[in-house]
């Protein structure tokens, strides 16, 4: 398919990020079939840099550990070279861990962008709205009451996340979904589920309580190909579904009436995007545990990096992947191999970011 590139008009940013006139540069790509695609050059550049950062962090993580490897050795082994020992370490031990981190980070990032767009609130993320707590309750019920194995615990996490999402949706529904009600219901459900988590821990045996605590911390340690393939399948199916909702979600930020006037089925878009986001969060939690604050910070950092209006779904996914793998690499670099679960580091950094966000929102008079 032949395409020509023509200069396009400048594109002003939305109400959240107001750019000076003439500062944003776009290009319009016209295909031979008459289709025109307008590209924001800053957003494209930001997405490219995020992809490069995620891949660089992945190579660094593969090369770290008790048997360190240089980036050149890692790349040579990934492309079929290296010694037999290096191939075993990379392909069987470290590559699955990195792939799970990339997939889970992307799932959390894009799901967080959906929740924040639908709720119209920067605090609207699975961590705050109770999805992670719901997955934890499901996993703990299987672990504490039924003494289930790894796959059973993962299945319980998925079921718990889906049921929690359904409960929040039903409680928040009143002639549609509205931002503040959605957030308030989610916060209330999260508080109840956290109490259930504490109750289940008090009823667990010492061995099960230790397993539950380890899982709830959130870690990529010990991940293998059995976690990679299900997570890859979920992302391959649902991330394109969410990306197809990008334009309608952007229109929803103008308000339901304006979006409906432009032909957007508001409730259909919300339900589709939210359902896909809930499944992505549940699957990611099942694969790596309830790793906190990635879904909260990734969409906002991506939006600030691109400077573009709208949900920025693909940059949020790339930012989530880069954040999670980068945090896991930093934890190994600073504290040694598998000495600090990645969920602890993301919790520390994300908590600091949340305090800064609250201070910023209060200074702006929005809270």
Span 186-200, pLDDT tens digits: 889 999 999 999 999
Tokens of 319: 């930012």
Q: Which residue has the higher pLDDT, 355 or 295?
A: 295
With respect to residue 161, please indicate whether it lies within any of the assigned structural domains. yes
What is the chain's mean pLDDT, rounded? Answer: 83
Burial class (CB in 10 A: 0-12, 13-18, 19+), 209: middle
Give the mean pLDDT of 153-180: 84
Q: Report how far residue 152's alpha carbon sits from residue 139's, in angstroms, rounded to the nearest whole number.
A: 8
Residue 233 within any structural domain of the chain: yes
Tell which phi-psi region holds residue 2, choosing left (phi > 0), alpha (psi between -120 and 50) or beta.
Answer: beta
Each residue's pLDDT tens digit, 234-260: 999 999 999 998 888 888 777 767 777
* Domain membership flag for residue 343: yes
Q: What is the pLDDT of residues 99-157, one digit of tens each?
A: 999 999 999 999 999 998 888 888 788 888 888 899 999 999 998 888 888 788 889 99
Q: What is the mean pLDDT of residues 341-346?
A: 88
Q: What pLDDT sits at residue 327?
A: 93
Residue 96 has a CB neighbour count (10 Å cut-off) of 19
Which pLDDT belongs to residue 355? 82
Residue 288 CA to residue 280 CA, distance in Å, equals 12
What pLDDT, on a 0 to 100 scale, did the predictor assign at position 179?
Answer: 65
Residue 16: CB atoms within 10 Å: 14
Q: Which domain holds residue 144?
A: 49-62+100-317+326-363
| 48 close to 32: Cβ distance less than 8 angstroms | no
The predicted structure's pLDDT at residue 1: 40
Report CA torsion sign: 212, 213, 217, 221: negative
Number of domains in the chain: 1
Please check the confidence at residue 290 and state whether its pLDDT lies above 70. yes
**Mean pLDDT computed over 309-325:** 92
91 in any annotated domain: no
| Bigger pLDDT: 145 vs 173 | 145
pLDDT in the model for residue 43: 84
In a domain, 5, yes or no: no
Residues 3-51 have pLDDT tens digits of 433 344 433 334 444 444 445 566 666 655 555 566 678 888 988 999 9
Phi, psi for 2 (deg, rounded to 5): -85, 145
Pick 177 or 298 by higher pLDDT. Answer: 298
Q: pLDDT at position 171, please?
A: 87
Question: What token pair was written down for 39?
Answer: 């590209």
Show Cβ contacts of residue 181 under 8 Å, excluding neighbours closer than 6 positions: 172, 174
The domain spanning residue 106 has which CATH number? Answer: 1.10.3470.10
Residue with the bigger pLDDT between 41 and 362: it is: 41
Look at residue 2 in the predicted model and tell me its pLDDT.
Answer: 38
User: How are the residues of the chain apportioned to helix, strand and coil, as percentages rounded to the nearest 5?
Assistant: 70, 5, 25
Beta carbons within 8 Å of 268's beta carbon, 6+ residues apart: none
Residue 6 pLDDT: 39
The residue among 23 and 365 whose pLDDT is bigger is 365
Q: Are 219 and 343 in contact (CB under 8 A)?
A: yes
pTM, two decimals, is: 0.85
Inside any domain, residue 338: yes
**Average pLDDT rounded to a whole number, residues 65-79:** 90
Judge whether 274 lies within some domain. Answer: yes
In a domain, 34, yes or no: no
The predicted pLDDT at position 10 comes to 38
């Amino acid at each position: 398919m032949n395409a020509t590139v023509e200069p396009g008009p400048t594109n002003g940013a939305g109400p959240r990020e107001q750019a000076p006139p003439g500062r944003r540069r776009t290009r319009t790509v016209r295909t031979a079939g008459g289709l025109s695609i307008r590209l924001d050059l800053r957003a494209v550049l930001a997405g490219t840099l995020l992809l490069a950062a995620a891949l660089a962090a992945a190579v660094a993580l593969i090369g770290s550990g008790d048997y360190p490897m240089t980036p050149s050795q890692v790349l040579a082994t990934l492309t079929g070279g290296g010694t037999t020992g290096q191939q075993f370490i990379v392909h069987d031990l470290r590559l699955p861990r990195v792939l799970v981190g990339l997939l889970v980070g992307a799932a959390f990032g894009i799901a967080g962008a959906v929740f924040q767009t639908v709720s119209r609130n920067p605090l609207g993320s699975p961590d705050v709205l109770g999805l992670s707590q719901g997955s934890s309750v499901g996993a703990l019920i299987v672990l504490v009451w039924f003494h289930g194995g790894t796959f059973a615990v993962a299945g319980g996490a998925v079921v718990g996340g889906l049921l929690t999402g359904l409960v929040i949706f039903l409680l928040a529904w009143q002639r549609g979904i509205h931002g503040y009600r959605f957030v308030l219901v989610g916060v209330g459900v999260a508080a109840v589920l956290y109490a259930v988590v504490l109750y289940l821990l008090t009823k667990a045996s010492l061995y099960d309580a230790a397993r539950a605590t380890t899982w709830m911390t959130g870690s990529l340690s010990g991940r293998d190909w059995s976690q990679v393939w299900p997570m890859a399948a979920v992302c391959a199916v649902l991330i394109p579904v969410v990306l197809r909702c990008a334009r309608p979600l952007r229109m929803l930020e103008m308000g339901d009436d304006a979006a409906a006037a432009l032909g957007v089925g508001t409730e259909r878009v919300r339900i589709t995007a939210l359902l896909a986001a809930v499944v992505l969060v549940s699957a990611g939690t099942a694969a790596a545990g309830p790793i906190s604050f990635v879904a909260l910070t990734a969409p906002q950092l991506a939006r600030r990096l691109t400077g573009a209006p709208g949900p920025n779904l693909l940059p949020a996914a790339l930012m989530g992947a880069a954040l999670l793998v980068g945090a896991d690499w930093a934890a190994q670099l600073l504290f040694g191999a598998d000495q600090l679960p990645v969920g602890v580091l993301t919790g520390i950094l994300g908590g600091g970011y949340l305090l800064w966000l609250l201070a910023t929102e209060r200074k702006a008079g929005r809270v």
